[in-house]
Structure 1
Amino acid sequence: MTALQSPALYKLERLLRLARELMQAAGQEGVFELVGAAMRELFEPDRALMMAPVGDAVLAREFDTSGVPRIKDGDPLLHFCAQRAIEQGRAQLDPPVPDDVRARAALDAPFQLCAVPFPAIEPSGVICLLWRRRRIGRSKELAALRHIGELATAALINATLRDQLECRIREGSESADRLDRAHEAELTRRNQSERLLHRLSVTDVMTGLLNRRGFDFYAQQSLVLARQQCLPGLLLFADINGLKQVNDELGHEQGDELIQDCAGILREAFRKSDVVARLGGDEFAVFSIDDELPDGVRERVQQRVARFVAEHPRPYPVSMSLGIVHSPSGSEQPLAALVAEADALMYAQKRLSHAVRGARDPQRGR
């Protein structure tokens, strides 16, 4: 990483480079070698495990401190953590480990575990990392690990299909029908790889939401659909309150966690079909095909914020200023204008909130 690169930008560039390398990987072992090198460079684990579903089989490799893949009988601690993550369908950070598993792993000193299943829906693969020393603040790396797993699985499928095709050619047993199926499989593989690369290019690494590019693309599609079907829409613009103060007083790690907290609140407040994005910094945007009025949406988001604060105590305040614009059916207002109007409403609310706090506490309002 160069001195001018931010960690997030460096991570995104490294993932894009891995995606390009995986598309040219020579065989399954070449895929695992590339994955091991990337995990070593990005996360520096002492041991790692990857299990990837390919057809009816599950390919598994363990990685040593240098990121070299090895076929072993199985590290009990890594396999326990990996199996738990797949069964529960969500990422595992420092899961409770039974005493017998800990004893078989022969790890008495403090260590940290992380397991991320993939894909996000009905996961059947997993990446598990182990550090022999405690490392704080790993939660923001979960999305990057999931991307690595999905990209590697696509590359393993590609390598398997290529090996099968070469075997058929060597044996001289392929027919015109088999060649057609192989060609179709290759087209499918290329489409899968292109979709994965597109997903990576429109995803915010820190939060897992869409980034600005993704918002512009998918929100415009939703807006066109709403106009074609004469449906109303709604655009929300949100800004995190006090992020700079959290960064200055508590550090950027806490600031990153505040960003992730607000991203999770917005994700839960809207449907999966809605376009939810982090535009950058402390700004978020949501486009929804919905006839709900802005006051109702505002109340729903604020209720989610209040519930999060009650259930997840934080050393910093969690709140957002919101600007919400209703786009009635038949409106011809473009997306950029909706964003600008919602942005202006958000800042008006933020100024009003500052004025109210200043009236209550003149010293703080200065």
Structure 2
Amino acid sequence: MNKHDLANELARTHSLLTLSCELLQTNDSFVALELVGKALVNLMHMDHALLVVHANDTEYVHSFDHDGHAQWSDAGNPLYLAGLSHLKGAGNGAGWQAAQARAETILAAGVPPRQPMTILLVKWDRDSHPLNIKVRQRLLTTVAELAAAALGKLHARVSLEQQVSQQSEQMTDSAHAHAAELARRDDVEHEIRELSLTDGMTGLRNRRGFFVEAEQAFKVAQRQHAVSAVIFVDIDGLKRINDTIGHKAGDQLICDTAAILRASFRNVDVVARLGGDEFAAFTLGDEKPEIVVERIKRKLHAFNLANGRGFKVSLSIGIVQCDPTNGMTLHDYIQAADARMYAHKQRTLH
């Protein structure tokens, strides 16, 4: 090999090394194709080229013009059939094939050689290339191998990104489903808790609900030395109504009493039916107990005037203002209010 041929070989080797580095650095398949097209022009001065790649069960076909610019192509490209024969394993052991018809020349290189998944074909319309066929075949095979490696890496990356994206979507869907299930469970638990704290007949808090909620409010009042009071209410004559008119009327009397008490207290107050004909309430912030009693009596009077039943609602009421300094518990105040209610009932009966 003379100095001129050696210099040309070194230049071609340098071009291939540069192509290899550039292909490894790019993350864009279109840029990779442009690099391949540029190399085919610079190294081989081709007129047309075709690259067929099988990746991820998909066939990709790209054509190159005489300037090396890449564009999408398809099976209608005249070079496609030659490429397809190599993709089906028709290529020889070296993975390339030369064909000459009229004045045109076609070279093909497949990667891997036996059953190519990538095929690169180059065509010269009129073959006046200074390089012999063997050199061109070697160059074409090297470019095909570099293209296959680069595009394979990019297709694998896209596939991996798609898998990650799919997994991410699945995880997101799973997280949403999990969150929805937790929310549903919270709703169910809240509903169960409400049922456990609520009196089924009146909709007020039941005995358990009263002590759960009133105990919390009572502790706040104790810590802040806030004004608070416990009210105990008993329905007058419920047994007589049950015995003379019937239990349906007695149940209605209980519900009427609940409606009166609900209207007499604020939403922040705890109002409950303790059982039977007994009701209790805990109120926070009312300055004077007698004002609370008067409010109940006004609501009671208004209710009786508005309802033309054969009986009126009559209530006995006991109220005790809580003192944060005396050490009494909520149960102590309930008993004290119950005692005052009983005293009020006795005075009314006599």
Structural mapping, 1:125-164, within 5 Å? none
1:343 corresponds to 2:343: no
User: Which residue number corresponds to residue 205 of structure 1?
Assistant: 200
Structural mapping, 1:210-225, within 5 Å? 210-225=205-220
User: Which residue number corresponds to residue 316 of structure 1?
Assistant: 311
Structure 2 distance, partners of 1:296, 1:303, is 11
Structure 1 distance, partners of 2:174, 2:326, is 51
1:194 corresponds to 2:212: no
Which amino acid in 2 is paired with 1:251?
A: G
Structural mapping, 1:60-209, within 5 Å? 174-209=169-204
1:1-37 Cα offsets, whole Å, 9 max, x none, are xxxxxxxxxxxxxxxxxxxxxxxxxxxxxxxxxxxxx
User: Which residue number corresponds to residue 306 of structure 1?
Assistant: 301
1:298-318 Cα offsets, whole Å, 9 max, x none, are 111011100101111221121
Any conservation in 2 of the 1:233–1:329 contact (CA below 8 Å)? no
State which structure, 1 or 2, has the greater radius of gyration over its C-alpha atoms: 2
Structure 2 distance, partners of 1:185, 1:325, is 46
The alignment of Structure 1 onto Structure 2 pairs a total of residues equal to 185
Structure 1 distance, partners of 2:296, 2:253, is 16
User: Which residue number corresponds to residue 226 of structure 2?
Assistant: 231
Secondary structure of 1:175's aligned partner: helix
Structure 2 length-normalised TM: 0.51
1:103-130 Cα offsets, whole Å, 9 max, x none, are xxxxxxxxxxxxxxxxxxxxxxxxxxxx
CA positional deviation for 1:181: 2.8
Structure 1 distance, partners of 2:252, 2:264, is 18
Distance 1:230 1:315, change over 3 A: same
User: Which residue number corresponds to residue 282 of structure 1?
Assistant: 277
CA positional deviation for 1:331: 4.6
User: Which residue number corresponds to residue 254 of structure 1?
Assistant: 249
Secondary structure of 2:312's aligned partner: coil
User: Which residue number corresponds to residue 327 of structure 1?
Assistant: 322
Any conservation in 1 of the 2:320–2:337 contact (CA below 8 Å)? yes
Any conservation in 1 of the 2:286–2:292 contact (CA below 8 Å)? no
Gaps of 5+ in 1: 1-170, 356-366
Which amino acid in 2 is paired with 1:289?
A: L
Any conservation in 2 of the 1:237–1:285 contact (CA below 8 Å)? yes
Match of 2:267 among 272, 289, 296: 272
Which amino acid in 1 is paired with 2:314?
A: S
1:325-351 Cα offsets, whole Å, 9 max, x none, are 001344531110000000000000000
Secondary structure of 2:279's aligned partner: strand
Which amino acid in 2 is paired with 1:316?
A: F
1:255-280 Cα offsets, whole Å, 9 max, x none, are 11111101000000000111000011
Q: Percent identity?
A: 45
1:214-233 Cα offsets, whole Å, 9 max, x none, are 11111111111222222121
Which amino acid in 2 is paired with 1:311?
A: A
1:296 corresponds to 2:326: no
Which amino acid in 2 is paired with 1:339?
A: I
Secondary structure of 1:321's aligned partner: strand
Q: Give the alignment's Cα RMSD to 1 decimal.
A: 1.6
